[in-house]
């Protein structure tokens, strides 16, 4: 599933269109813009999955946010195809545009994952997934001792509730 539309991209980069639409003869072509959206959408789905969300997302407000991300990704690639935009001058934005945009998406998802969940995106992986703990010792007996006992760090346990 692709987020965003070529029409939305053309509205933001009309200077690259022919009478307001991407065509086979524009740079980028209509096929290229569709592919930009598909690639951006695939990266978005990867980031969603990494953060534990069910893909595809169906929550309407979350979809609007994801559409904006994909359209922004495609707009940047339209600029790259035309040697324009924020990646045109490498002295101000050095590096591979695709790597930079992927890192920006990753940062966005890391910061906004809790909000996406609160807005209705289904999250199947807890933020606590992978947190190490154990409830039994090496012999299989129940244990309430932390994997990293406080004594390991040179501290002493203190009974705050003396009887």
CB 97 within 8 A of CB 36: no
| Count of domains observed in the chain | 1
Q: Does residue 110 lie in a domain region?
A: yes
Q: Does residue 139 lie in a domain region?
A: no
pLDDT single digits (tens) 61-96: 999 999 999 999 999 999 999 999 998 887 777 789
Q: Does residue 152 lie in a domain region?
A: no
Q: Does residue 149 lie in a domain region?
A: no
Range of the structural domain that residue 19 is part of: 6-118
CA distance 114 to 123: 10
Q: Does residue 126 lie in a domain region?
A: no
Q: Does residue 160 lie in a domain region?
A: no
Torsional sign, CA 31, 33, 38, 43 = positive
pLDDT single digits (tens) 1-44: 799 999 999 999 999 999 999 999 999 999 999 999 999 999 99
The burial of 52, by beta-carbon neighbours within 10 Å (0-12 exposed, 13-18 middle, 19 or more buried), is given as middle
Q: Does residue 145 lie in a domain region?
A: no
Q: Does residue 142 lie in a domain region?
A: no
Which of 35-49, 58-72, 109-123, 133-147 is predicted least confidently?
133-147
């Amino acid at each position: 599933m692709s987020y965003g539309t070529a029409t939305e991209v053309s509205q933001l980069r009309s200077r690259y269109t022919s009478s307001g639409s991407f065509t086979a003869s524009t740079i980028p072509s209509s096929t290229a813009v569709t592919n930009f959206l598909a690639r951006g959408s695939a990266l978005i789905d990867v980031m969603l999955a990494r953060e534990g969300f069910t893909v595809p997302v169906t929550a309407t407000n979350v979809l609007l946010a994801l559409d904006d991300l994909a359209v922004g990704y495609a707009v940047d690639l339209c600029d790259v195809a035309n040697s324009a935009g924020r990646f045109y001058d490498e002295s101000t934005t050095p590096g591979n545009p695709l790597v930079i945009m992927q890192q920006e998406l990753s940062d966005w998802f890391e910061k906004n994952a809790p909000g996406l969940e609160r807005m209705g995106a289904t999250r199947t992986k807890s933020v606590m997934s992978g947190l190490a703990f154990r409830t039994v010792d090496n012999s299989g007996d129940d244990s309430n001792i932390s994997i990293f006992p406080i004594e390991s760090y040179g501290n002493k346990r203190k009974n705050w509730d003396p009887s």
